[in-house]
Structure 1
Amino acid sequence: MISDYSVVAISGFNMITAPEYLIERLYKLYLKTGHPRKLFIISDTFPGAPGRGLDRIAKLIYERKDEDFIDGTLFPFYGWSESLQKMVREEWFDAYAWSIGIMAYWFREVGSGRPGVLTKVGLYTTADPRLDGTALNEKAMKMRRVKVHLINIDSQEYLLYTAPKPQFGLIRATTADEMGNLSLEDEAAYGTVLNIAQTIKAMPNKGINIVQVLRIARYGSLNPKDVEVPGPLIDYVVVSPREYHWQSSSFDYDPMVSGKIIPPLSREHIIQSELNHRKIIARRVLLELLELLKKSGRQIIVNLGVGIPATVADVAVEEEVQDLIVLTVESGTWGGKPLYGADFGASIGPFAIVSVPDQFTMYEGGIIDAASLGFMQVDRYGNVNSFIMPSRIPGPGGFPAIAVGSPQIFFAGEFTAGDKKIEVNNGKISILKDGEIIKFVNQVYKIGCSGKILTKSNKNALFVTERAVFQKVEDGIELKEIAPGIDLEKDILGKMEFKPIIRKEPDIMDPRIFNSKRMGLKEEALEAIKR
């Protein structure tokens, strides 16, 4: 059914809702017949994980040096596929990257008959058409198949994101009944499955939806409230072998991930992780969240990004405050223990799961209280590069929309990059070997979050590392704290391309962070709620 030069939308937040079997069959058909070829592929995040889904296909394509299957891509995330990143850098095709939130909204907007997404997300960043306009390579800069338009409304600047409407949708659910009604009861999240199906069926050219499921049910046996996608939107149903329908990257099925069971939490089940410099960063972020809880006097809602920010969840569980500091993930999960790595997006024991566009309403609208996001580079102006370097193109993920919307942002990351050896002993940090890559630079390679926007929106933005804490101020970034055992000149200023603002002697970071025992935050958090 899929013809050459088609635009194909594929669902997938990593392996969550990724139709791995359909992706495999599509590529095998191409290898057998030479068709379909020259496909422009769009995904709500990335349909795969290292060695699985689209990454496996990308590896085969790169090994074969076959440039005919993929003609272009629009993804929020490329990080799981080194082969796909190589193809982008080597200009095999035009490639673009939008935030997950923009991508999810785009499916909803195009499904509603509108031209695209109108938003302030991306202003003064690499998404802005005055810079890269979301293009990842020179071929994309020239072709501009995907466009971002700068629009002025009542003297306010906005961006309008537009892209080709897909004719085919490859999506995934758990069960389809005989009418094609779809339920996602075993999936880790809802993703953007419904919105992709709507986009395909929207005017002016109605396309074809093909869904991968685990099982077929009798018509009428699904509870109407469990139906995520109504059957009349679906054209073809394909039953997948179990091995192509895992819940997440590293496991087949866990009822605690699909929301069927919320496990009890007791002290016996809490495993205290090793104290290292990454945990120190996570602990410092959690202390900031605790202060926010104290000010609010209620539960707070928090987003955790990939990388070190995701490990804040481990520390929150260890300190038994995860029910007061409610952790959410871009995939749509609320509460529980978010997983990380290639399993990012799945959570153990969430108490609620919503769709991705609904989740990003929480983020972009500032409904959440705070977010912790990672960073690759920070410059003297407070600009943050979160997703692209000359040798790596992970993609923006959910970062841009969350950074714009969240009232408080705690950027979290290691102070330097590269091979390093850092020990934590006797309440102090010892840097035995430092990373050779400087992350605090004069000017970031690409802007993922604009320091200008952070200042203009008057956000509380901190940069938390294992050895220092900085705050975004109007005229740059200010050094606020250093870790015990750290030499200011040698370990901080000597490892930065610019000198931060230092108005007074920096405070010493909370000593509890550097102690192997739990910090004892539960009592403080409960006391704050009682007040």
Structure 2
Amino acid sequence: MSFEEISYLGLGKTVTAEEALANIKDGSVVAISGFNMAMTPEYLVEELYRLYLKTGHPRDLFIISDTFPGVPGRGIDRIAEDMYRRGEEGFISGMLLPFYGWSRTLQKMIIEEWFEAYTWSIGIMAYWFREVGSGRPGVLSRVGVNTFLDPRLGGCALNEKARKAGRVRGRILEIDGREYILYQAPKPEVGLLRGSTADEKGNVSIEDEGIQGTILNIAQAVKARPRRGFNIVQVLRVARFGNIRAKNVAVPGPLIDYVVVAPREKHWQGASMDMDRRVSGEIITPLSPAFAEPLPLDHRKIIARRVLLEMAKLVAKEGRPIIVNLGVGIPSLVAHVAVEEDVAEYMEITIESGPWGGIPFTGPDFGLAISPYAMLSIPDQFTIYEGGILDAASLGFLQVDREGNVNSSILPDRLPGPGGFSVIAAGSPNLYFAGGFTAGKRDIVAEEGRLVIRREGDIRKFVRSVYKILYNPRSAMEYNDQEVLYITERAVFRLESGGLRLVEVAPGVDLEKDVLRHMEFTPLITGRVEEMDKRIFRERKMEVKKELEKALRV
């Protein structure tokens, strides 16, 4: 067969969005790639909803995603806002997403029972696509045992419709005396994917994207027997067959059925950027202190600094750079502080979307990083986490109770879902929960080496009993021996067999008035409580690099 004949065979794959999407049947299970806006086929998602409004079909779709395909005002959130405004209940019959946090409207719809809503952790979700693509019944994992995800404790259902329908479920299985959860969900029949370039045969490359995502695994799950489905990919351009090098093909052409060229404005790298070569990994910028503007010394930076000091201790102990994961919010600021202190080279910083190194973005652009030196697929990244291959992780928290249980994200009126939290928390051997001591409107600053609480937050985060358990230290310890700290701007707690022990308080803080009075339980306290390092509360650099160079004899 000649080169021209091979090229010709793939020409029919390039079609309009409507031509491709019109093949989706009512009631289909549709898998959509996307980590916020990274790898989200925004054009396909919005055109699918537009087709439904135009024709009434396809309807009653069950939506599955590896993370969340959108951000506030874009992607799935934009559709949810329009559905809610119109009172349009026919488009979606159910959803399985690890994260709903970027859409207050979706969360409201879940609470109001518009459709079935389920959640798993990102790592479980990404593995599930790979397992289904292999013809297996689901994902078997220790993650989630004795937490909110355990079927004996409510399982993964977020509302009553989901509990009654049970389309997504978990089963407890015992292997060698240990309990595991078998996570199961409907096999996807349609894949909505995203790449940068597709050639005439349908081969897809991702050279402009900020992450690898899960597109290959979604495509595999869709194509797996016994019910072979079809995949639609959104790209920026179509090239002649042979122009994409074999090693640069992210999804082979035979797995792609339709190629749709998207307008540039519906194919940004992230929420706030069209195209940044540093984000796609084509340019690596030296991460010197001059590269990062110093963060203001507010309570968020104070916490990030304290986490950095803990990680520096671990570097000195191990005698080498350490592999770390940084979660969304305050934990992601640790990377910025590491660059300020010129110690980024001692910490191999990873984020759950796949990048290694660089400086992670925060907010809606979380998942992307400036100048990463490597990028893994999301399933491969979570293998690093669940397998305990990393050295440490810092994650946020919403509530903590006396036993050390953590609720990272779920309240009666708030249903963001676990994101990557559950897998990372279970797998990390050194775990540093990082967050404000209280929540709500507050004014907390550092002045001359001490903490000053000008206005206290009115929401307690250290409570008698968390609303939902997303991290259970007893189960996690059976899975992986862990060192666990709970780090705030005014106090640090260590997890022990008897519960939480208060080990440090900030300079300038009154133990009774500023700490114990704002907790719903009394932590373990023995003897004198240490004072947090004063360097954390001063504007100048902490000079962490000198300590590390001395410890490592650089």
Distance 1:268 1:382, change over 3 A: closer
SS in 2 for 1:302: strand
Indicate the residue corresponding to 1:168 in structure 2. Answer: 190
Indicate the residue corresponding to 2:429 in structure 1. Answer: 407
**Corresponding residue to 2:448 among 410, 417, 426:** 426
Please show how residues 186-197 of structure 1 align to structure 2 within 5 Å.
Answer: 186-197=208-219
Once the two structures are superposed, residues 443-477 of structure 1 have per-residue CA deviations (whole angstroms, 9 ceiling, x without a partner) of: 00000000212444431000000000001111110
* 1:257 corresponds to 2:279: yes
Match of 1:14, as an amino acid?
Answer: N
Match of 1:275, as an amino acid?
Answer: L
SS in 2 for 1:209: strand
Match of 2:281, as an amino acid?
Answer: G
Checking the alignment, whether the CA contact within 8 Å between 2:213 and 2:377 is kept in structure 1 is yes
Match of 2:392, as an amino acid?
Answer: A
Please show how residues 19-168 of structure 1 align to structure 2 within 5 Å.
Answer: 19-168=41-190
Q: Please list every run of 5 or more consecutive structure 2 residues that lacks an aligned counterpart in the other structure.
A: 1-22
Checking the alignment, whether the CA contact within 8 Å between 1:175 and 1:213 is kept in structure 2 is yes
Match of 1:111, as an amino acid?
Answer: G
Please show how residues 342-357 of structure 1 align to structure 2 within 5 Å.
Answer: 342-357=364-379
Match of 1:517, as an amino acid?
Answer: R
Match of 2:542, as an amino acid?
Answer: M
Distance 1:458 1:269, change over 3 A: closer
Please show how residues 100-499 of structure 1 align to structure 2 within 5 Å.
Answer: 100-456=122-478, 457-499=480-522
Separation in 2, partners of 1:226, 1:527: 43
Separation in 2, partners of 1:436, 1:111: 48
Checking the alignment, whether the CA contact within 8 Å between 1:45 and 1:76 is kept in structure 2 is yes
Separation in 1, partners of 2:166, 2:325: 32
Once the two structures are TM-superposed, the CA of residue 428 in structure 1 deviates from its matched residue by 1.0
Match of 1:178, as an amino acid?
Answer: E
Indicate the residue corresponding to 1:511 in structure 2. Answer: 534
Match of 2:197, as an amino acid?
Answer: T
Separation in 2, partners of 1:108, 1:178: 26
Match of 1:420, as an amino acid?
Answer: R
Separation in 2, partners of 1:65, 1:430: 48
* 1:502 corresponds to 2:510: no
Separation in 1, partners of 2:28, 2:486: 43
SS in 2 for 1:256: coil
Match of 1:154, as an amino acid?
Answer: D
SS in 2 for 1:228: coil
Separation in 2, partners of 1:435, 1:492: 12
Q: TM-score, normalised by structure 1?
A: 0.99
SS in 2 for 1:130: helix
Checking the alignment, whether the CA contact within 8 Å between 1:79 and 1:393 is kept in structure 2 is yes
Separation in 2, partners of 1:181, 1:530: 50
Checking the alignment, whether the CA contact within 8 Å between 1:259 and 1:349 is kept in structure 2 is yes
Separation in 1, partners of 2:356, 2:287: 16
Once the two structures are TM-superposed, the CA of residue 317 in structure 1 deviates from its matched residue by 0.9
SS in 1 for 2:444: strand
Q: Please list every run of 5 or more consecutive structure 1 residues that lacks an aligned counterpart in the other structure.
A: none
Once the two structures are TM-superposed, the CA of residue 267 in structure 1 deviates from its matched residue by 4.2
Separation in 1, partners of 2:325, 2:289: 25
Checking the alignment, whether the CA contact within 8 Å between 2:305 and 2:337 is kept in structure 1 is yes
Checking the alignment, whether the CA contact within 8 Å between 2:30 and 2:61 is kept in structure 1 is yes
Checking the alignment, whether the CA contact within 8 Å between 1:454 and 1:461 is kept in structure 2 is no
Once the two structures are superposed, residues 183-202 of structure 1 have per-residue CA deviations (whole angstroms, 9 ceiling, x without a partner) of: 00000001001000000000
Separation in 1, partners of 2:436, 2:281: 33
Once the two structures are superposed, residues 229-250 of structure 1 have per-residue CA deviations (whole angstroms, 9 ceiling, x without a partner) of: 0000000000000000000001
SS in 1 for 2:82: helix
Indicate the residue corresponding to 2:549 in structure 1. Answer: 526
Checking the alignment, whether the CA contact within 8 Å between 2:503 and 2:530 is kept in structure 1 is yes
Once the two structures are superposed, residues 30-51 of structure 1 have per-residue CA deviations (whole angstroms, 9 ceiling, x without a partner) of: 0001111110000000000111
Once the two structures are superposed, residues 398-454 of structure 1 have per-residue CA deviations (whole angstroms, 9 ceiling, x without a partner) of: 000001110000000000011111121111111111111100000000000002124
Separation in 2, partners of 1:316, 1:361: 25
Separation in 2, partners of 1:458, 1:234: 43
Indicate the residue corresponding to 2:14 in structure 1. Answer: none
Once the two structures are superposed, residues 485-512 of structure 1 have per-residue CA deviations (whole angstroms, 9 ceiling, x without a partner) of: 1111111110000000101221000111
Separation in 2, partners of 1:267, 1:324: 14
Match of 1:463, as an amino acid?
Answer: Y
Match of 2:150, as an amino acid?
Answer: D
SS in 2 for 1:257: coil
Greater alpha carbon shift after TM alignment, 521-530 vs 74-83: 521-530
Greater alpha carbon shift after TM alignment, 361-370 vs 451-460: 451-460
Once the two structures are TM-superposed, the CA of residue 205 in structure 1 deviates from its matched residue by 0.5
Once the two structures are TM-superposed, the CA of residue 138 in structure 1 deviates from its matched residue by 1.3
Match of 1:136, as an amino acid?
Answer: L
Once the two structures are superposed, residues 73-114 of structure 1 have per-residue CA deviations (whole angstroms, 9 ceiling, x without a partner) of: 000000000110001111111111100000000000000000
SS in 1 for 2:381: helix
Once the two structures are TM-superposed, the CA of residue 278 in structure 1 deviates from its matched residue by 0.9
Match of 2:291, as an amino acid?
Answer: H
Separation in 2, partners of 1:339, 1:490: 36
Separation in 2, partners of 1:113, 1:319: 48
Separation in 1, partners of 2:331, 2:508: 24
Equivalences, count:
531
SS in 1 for 2:547: helix
Checking the alignment, whether the CA contact within 8 Å between 2:36 and 2:67 is kept in structure 1 is yes
SS in 1 for 2:279: helix
Indicate the residue corresponding to 2:3 in structure 1. Answer: none
Once the two structures are superposed, residues 346-374 of structure 1 have per-residue CA deviations (whole angstroms, 9 ceiling, x without a partner) of: 00000000100000000000000000000
Separation in 2, partners of 1:385, 1:503: 27
